[in-house]
Chains A and B, each alone.
Chain A
Amino acid sequence: MATAHKAPDVARDGAAAAAVVTDITELEAVFDAAVAADERIEPRDWMPDAYRATLVRQIAQHAHSEIIGMQPEANWITRAPSLRRKAILMAKVQDEAGHGLYLYSAAETLGVSRDELLDKLHSGRQKYSSIFNYPTLTWADVGAIGWLVDGAAITNQVPLCRCSYGPYARAMVRVCKEESFHQRQGYELLLALSRGTPEQHAMAQDAVDRWWWPSLMMFGPPDAESSHSEQSMTWKIKRHSNDELRQRFVDICVPQAESLGLTLPDPDLRWNEERGEHDFGPIDWSEFWSVLKGNGPCNEQRLTQRKQAHDEGAWVRDAAAAYAAKHSDHDKDRRPAAPGTPAEATA
């Protein structure tokens, strides 16, 4: 079914295309109307350069976060205290690699390559979520990450399932299903600890104490200081402001913490009858900016490990490419060589 905003397809429809508008203001108007009508923008549609750039930045950062986010949890795979928990954790870390792959694919529909994006991650030109710069110091941190970090991620990502850019929205549907599952597992892990021995309970409380504020920071700076928010909301990449989502998350977590038998480390946290929401204490934004600038506890470690895995794997990727070049055409004997192909390439 043709939609109103489809840009002329020059490759398919060359002659007609010449007659069709290339006036940018008109293309913009078609794009704006499509977004306003909640139609999905697809890879071959015309889109403003800034919309494309914003999406590349956001999807890449999201993909990078999945990949870097494997590290704090993988840190506990070899020490998981039961085989059931070990299996759950391995499956989760595997899912994260898979999410990274979906997201890099979604970004590639915008005309960038995964290699290019990884290069930007490795050189520090693109970021990943600041939360993954915190260390996992005990087993309970695995639960706190599941419950709070994945919980915050889901609160952020569920609205992205309705994002105006089709490939991103569809990736989010798959990601959110798996993330919800991880969050329940994290909650269940903490519940087991909370109801376990006094030492286990203390371990769970300590983890929640350390992960609560960083999780609230995952929603980004306050609305007043969020540089990309307004434009992203107009384009329907974002559907809610940072502060709205943060508030929603706090309201969800308070009763969950109660049923876990754990407290949240905020003396100002209380129900506000008038607003019908929880009031909560001030966030230490200096910490947020400092972590974002690379000065968190694990920034250097995370990036170093990522680069090391990539660099040490270079010979493996080279081998796969060399093998593919040698063996790509199994029936090469029956096919004439492409013009200009050097003899070695087909040898």
Chain B
Amino acid sequence: MAALALGDDALVLSHRLGEWAGHAPVLEEEVALANIALDLLGQARVLLSLAGDEDELAFLREERAFRNVQLVEQPNGDFAHTIARQLYFSTYQHLLYTRLATTDSELAPLAAKAAKEVAYHQDHAEQWTLRLGDGTAESHERMQHGLDALWRYTGELFQPVPGLDIDWQTLREQWTTTVTTVIEKATLTVPEGPQSGAWTAGAGREGLHTESFGRMLAEMQHLHRSHPGASW
């Protein structure tokens, strides 16, 4: 379950970042976003392979069987929205992997390697949060909007994942401290309001997703499903 949950997180966010290819605001970001997407896809492949066959799991499961958090499936929106998603998620992933690396979990070796990649993702997200937050009036407003809009998906990050020996409460405190520091340094305001929808509790981990996710899977899985049994 743990490998599947973390693998789905990485797979789905990688897919969303892949949608940016050819649309980024500046060439350097074409490289950076693709780079992060590739790192995540690499992590997803290792994790899903621990859980079964990577392609069967990615292309032949339906929406209700995916275990990713809802945060990573959120549509890209504008660049600030994407960066807010990256800030929330990469901070979480970095804290989680760093801890996981010290446990005796079978995921520890992967976590140790991935923590290095994720530290880079986190730095990228933080640097852009600062630039957008403390850039122009427009970028400030957009960045604040991205942070606000995605805040309600952050509570789910700290729902315990069965099989992972992690102190989730401490993880949550560290995440909150880190994210707060960056947001405030960026002259932005930490969103208030609930960190989850009223009807959810670890919904993504239980296979309950948001509406855009089904469409994302339809696109991702279409070709593979059109040729049953084919190899590529």
A positions within 8 Å CB-CB of B: 67, 70-71, 74, 77-87, 90-91, 93-94, 97-98, 100-101, 104, 139, 189, 192-193, 196-197, 199-200, 305, 308-310, 312-323, 326-327
Contact = CB atoms under 8 A, between A and B. Distances in A.
Which of B132, B135, B222 counts the most chain A CB atoms within 10 A?
Answer: B135
Contacts of B24: 309, 313
A309 B29 CA distance: 11
A150 to B, nearest CB: 17
Given A78-B18, A310-B25, 18 more contacts: A70-B22, A78-B19, A78-B219, A79-B222, A80-B223, A81-B224, A83-B41, A83-B44, A86-B18, A90-B38, A192-B231, A199-B227, A308-B23, A309-B23, A318-B138, A319-B136, A320-B26, A323-B134
A223 B201 CA distance: 69
B197 interface: no
Nearest to B48: A83
Nearest to B138: A315
B55 A83 contact: yes
B138 A323 contact: no
B79 A70 contact: no
Contact of A98 (B19, B31, B59): B31
9 contacts: A79-B222, A79-B223, A81-B224, A86-B41, A90-B34, A199-B227, A309-B25, A314-B25, A323-B130
Nearest to A189: B232
Contacts of A85: 232
B135 to A, nearest CB: 3
Contacts of B30: 70, 93-94, 97
B230 interface: yes
Nearest to A87: B41
A67 B31 CA distance: 11
B27 interface: yes
Contacts of A94: 30-31, 34-35, 38
B227 A78 contact: no
By DSSP majority rule, is chain A's interface helix, strand, loop, or mixed?
helix
Contact of A316 (B19, B41, B54, B79): B79
Contact of B79 (A77, A192, A313): A313
Contact of B232 (A74, A192, A310): A192
A86 B14 CA distance: 10
Contact of B45 (A83, A101, A310, A317): A83
B131 interface: yes
Contacts of A322: 135-136, 139
B186 to A, nearest CB: 9
B211 interface: no
Interface band, chain B = 35 or more
A193 B223 CA distance: 13
Contacts of B44: 83
Interface in B46-99: 48, 54-55, 58-59, 78-79
B134 A81 contact: no
A329 to B, nearest CB: 15
Given A87-B38, A323-B130, A318 B139 contact: yes
Nearest to B22: A74
B21 interface: yes
Contact of B139 (A86, A139, A312, A319): A319
A146 to B, nearest CB: 14
A83 B136 contact: no
A82 B18 contact: no
Contacts of B1: none
Contacts of A79: 219-220, 222-223
B15 interface: yes
A323 B131 contact: yes
Given A83-B54, A196-B231, A319-B131, A91 B26 contact: no
A33 B142 CA distance: 58
B31 A90 contact: no
Interface in B131-181: 131-132, 134-136, 138-139, 142
A90 B37 contact: yes
Nearest to A313: B25
A199 B71 CA distance: 38
Given A81-B224, A197-B230, A323-B134, A315 B142 contact: yes
